[in-house]
């Protein structure tokens, strides 16, 4: 019972952080791609 009450506010921020970290990788890659394109121009 207690764990159920305690859970959601602890887990949701963790999920958000995990999702942001997973998004960060492709975003960094995209930035690098853009930088290398600008470097060639």
How do residues 1-41 score in pLDDT, each as one tens digit?
455 555 666 777 877 888 888 999 999 999 999 999 988 87
List the end-to-end C-alpha distance of the chain, in Å, as a whole number. Answer: 61
pLDDT for the residue 1: 43
**Domain assignments of the chain as residue spans, ordered by start:** 1-41
pLDDT for the residue 7: 60
pLDDT for the residue 40: 83
pLDDT for the residue 8: 62
pLDDT for the residue 12: 78
């Amino acid at each position: 019972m207690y764990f159920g009450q305690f859970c959601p506010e602890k887990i949701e921020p963790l999920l958000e952080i995990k999702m942001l970290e997973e998004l960060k990788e492709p975003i960094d890659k995209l930035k690098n791609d853009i930088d290398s394109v600008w470097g060639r121009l």
